[in-house]
Amino acid sequence: MIKYILKKLLLAVPILLGITLIDYLIMSIAGNPLDMMVGPRVTRESLAIRAEILGLDQPLWLQYISWLGQVISGNLGYSYKSHLSVAELIGTHIGPTLLLTGTALLLGMLIAVPLGIYSAVHRYEKRDYVLIGFSFGASSIPGFFLSLLLIYFFTVRLGLLPSGGMYTPGTGGSVSDIARHLIMPSLVLAVSIAGNNVRYIRSAVLEILDMDYLRTARAKGIGPALVIRKHALRNALLPIITVIGMEIPVLFGGSIIVEQIFSWPGLGLITMNAIIGRDYPVIMGVCLLSGVVVLCANLLTDILYALADPTIKY
């Protein structure tokens, strides 16, 4: 098992390198960040000095290597814009993002798992079709459109919920205040998670319900509720683990736009600002982080899978 994890970790290294390399190449095609600094009050000389300080006068591969060397020593570089260290920037913004995505994942699964199982148990009945229809609807509605609808109803019409930020400015941010701000953005993310996964969990449970051993259990006269609770749920754990693993990268991406709409002070917000401002070190840092997050999610899925399924050996 430990060997398996080590092997997976080793395999992740070239993928991570590939991620950074592709990033770097795309951005070098894009152009020079110095172009963004050009203005009436900036002289050529001062630009050249800046270029030297930032190491932008060196050939591309040298810049990449020096950046990589820094990363290995734990230094993600400094933002061109705010001159803050990238690690620090990410550190201060990762909390809100984790809060948002974590809540959304929990909420999404709390909706998807019971509905998926319910739908599977009542397959080919009217309520099954209705649920499937709803799940298609939930995964077809654009997140930003749903955000606008929610803001329209809950903020503009009903005046119940705040439309942006993480807490009311001026206050310290009590738990209930943050929770009120959290409802809408996490709901938007949760709806798309639930929409995609109700169908997935339904078909996974259906597959299990069709297995011979469950037929045997039913034939022994065990009632449907007990069959599901005792036999099916435990085996349905595997697809649920897979789903969570698959959702993490999607969530990470989805939060960028949702954070933008709700001005949620997380990673998505600094990512968007960095992208617009061509703040390379920040973009690279976020990409690297997302790569690490995705790879960790995959690894964690594999491990949980191995723990939950006794037939898998490594």
Partner 1 sequence: MNRSFRMLLRRFSRHKMAMYSLVILLTLILMAVTAPLITPYSPTRPSGKFLLPPDSEHLLGTDRIGRDMFTRILYAMRVSLMVGFLATLISTCLGVTLGLLSGYFGGPADRIIMGITDIVMSFPTILLVLVAAAIFKPGLGSIVLILGFVDWPGVARLVRGNVLSLRETNFIKSDITAGMPGRYILFSEIQPNTIGPVLVYATNVFAISILDEAALSFIGMGIQPPTPSLGNILNGAESLSVLTGKPWLWLPAGIVIFLLVICINFVGDALRDAFDPHGVH
Whichever of 168 and 203 has its CB closer to partner 1, that residue is 203
Distances (CA, A) of 154 to 77, 165, 251, 295: 41, 15, 23, 37
85 strand-pairing partners:
78
15 part of the interface to partner 1, by CB under 8 A = yes
Work out which of 27, 84, 300, 308 binds partner 1, going by CB under 8 A. 27
User: From the CB of 30, what's the least distance to partner 1, in Å?
Assistant: 3
Closer by beta carbon to partner 1, 29 or else 219: 29
The angle subtended at Cα 275 by Cα 270 and Cα 278, nearest 5°, is 115
* CA dist., res. 191 & res. 146, Å (int): 9
3-state secondary structure of 129: helix
9 binds partner 1 (CB under 8 A): no
Q: Decide if residue 287 touches partner 1 (CB under 8 A).
A: yes
Identified binder of partner 1 from the candidate list 85, 139, 242, 301, rule CB under 8 A: 139
Question: In terms of Cα–Cα distance, which of 86, 59, 84, 71 is closest to 282?
Answer: 86
Give residues 149-178 in contact with partner 1 (rule: CB under 8 A): 149, 151-152, 156
133 binds partner 1 (CB under 8 A): yes
Among 43, 73, 140, 176, binds partner 1 (CB under 8 A): 140
Q: Kindly state whether residue 295 participates in binding partner 1, applying the rule CB under 8 A.
A: yes
144 binds partner 1 (CB under 8 A): yes
How many other C-beta atoms lie within 10 A of the C-beta of residue 89? 23
Q: What angle do CA 249, 291, 12 make, to 5 degrees?
A: 115
- As measured in angstroms, the least distance from the Cβ of 33 to partner 1 is 11
- 247, 253, 297, 304 from 243: Cα distances, Å: 6, 16, 11, 12
Q: Which residues pair with 78 in a beta bridge?
A: 85
Sites of contact with partner 1 (CB under 8 A): 14-15, 18-19, 22-23, 26-27, 29-31, 133, 136-137, 139-145, 148-149, 151-152, 156, 249-250, 252-254, 256-257, 260-261, 271-272, 275-276, 278, 283, 286-287, 290-291, 294-295
